[in-house]
Amino acid sequence: MRNLVIGTIALGLASSAVVQAQQAAPAAPQARPAPPPAAPAPRWPDGRISFSGSPTNVGNWEGPANASIFFNMVNGKLVKPQPSLPTNKTVDEIPFKPGMRALYDSRADQAEDPHTRCKPSGGSRFWHTPYGIEIVDSPETQEVFFLHVGAPHSWRVAYMDGRPHPKGVKDLWYGHTIGKWEGDTLVLDTVGFNDRFWVTREGVPTTKQLHLIEKLSRPDQARLKYEATIDDPGAYTAPWTGGWHLRWGAGNEPFDYLCQENNRDPGRMTGGGVADSNRSR
């Protein structure tokens, strides 16, 4: 009997110790629930991808402030030469022609960005514009319109009816754009630019020889993939490609935006590129 009592007490003490240890032990981390899958991109009744909103999903596209054409959407590598990058990063050199790298470097402070002086934002610079971009397309039209909210309330037109570029087109802020569908990707082909804008916010230089190929796709409801190929034999020895993603700004609608042409922000509008003083005004 004595041994039975001692065994029972020992078993009770052991059980109590186990309970106390379980109470003292930290709780196992709870696995975070997987985010819900992104909603699919909307489509028109004919099955084609829609870049527009709807009466129940009003909004437009917003380019993130840090969006950069120096990210290659094809191979996922940076294409801007950056000596300060860690050694495990792979960087492709942009094929600048002589003098063009110096022009790009001189624009580092962005002080002479023509966009800040209400000049139209040609090429990829269009997709940096604050407050969103509206894309107006429908199966019934032979044109796609791209509308700015910020900047000088400008717009671009892509002709989808199979027409070629007109002969001799030149000196246009947005160039002349023709478009076509490749599956769910809208391909925009643009020529005829002037050289008075920066093709991106970073100050990437271009010339009147610029031939710009842009690709727009909508992987899901919330994202727009923008990819651009810069083909400009006046500025580069070979074409190169970069881009970024824009996000859907739910609820965004155009508003009355005033671009003050004579504004001079002292923090951003002094100095400027060595070759820009007479080109951006």
pLDDT at 36: 73
Continuous segment of H or E residues that includes residue 48: none
Which is more confident, 147 or 276? 147
The answer to the question of residue 117 being in a domain is: yes
The answer to the question of residue 36 being in a domain is: no
Continuous segment of H or E residues that includes residue 223: strand 223-231
Q: How many Å apart are CA 268 and CA 261, to the nearest integer?
A: 14
The answer to the question of residue 271 being in a domain is: no
The answer to the question of residue 154 being in a domain is: yes
pLDDT at 54: 77
pTM, to two decimals: 0.79
> Domain residues for 108?
59-250
Q: What is the pLDDT of residues 64-108, one digit of tens each?
A: 877 889 998 888 888 876 555 555 566 778 999 999 999 999 998
pLDDT at 29: 62
pLDDT at 18: 47
The answer to the question of residue 161 being in a domain is: yes
Per-residue pLDDT, averaged over 210-220, amounts to 97
Number of domains in the chain: 1
pLDDT at 38: 83
Amino acid at 240: W
The answer to the question of residue 255 being in a domain is: no
Per-residue pLDDT, averaged over 192-220, amounts to 96
* Inter-CA distances, 31 with 23, 24, 155, Å: 20, 21, 47
The answer to the question of residue 5 being in a domain is: no
The answer to the question of residue 269 being in a domain is: no
63 band by pLDDT with thresholds 50, 70 and 90: confident
Q: What is the pLDDT of residues 250-270, one digit of tens each?
A: 888 888 877 766 665 545 544
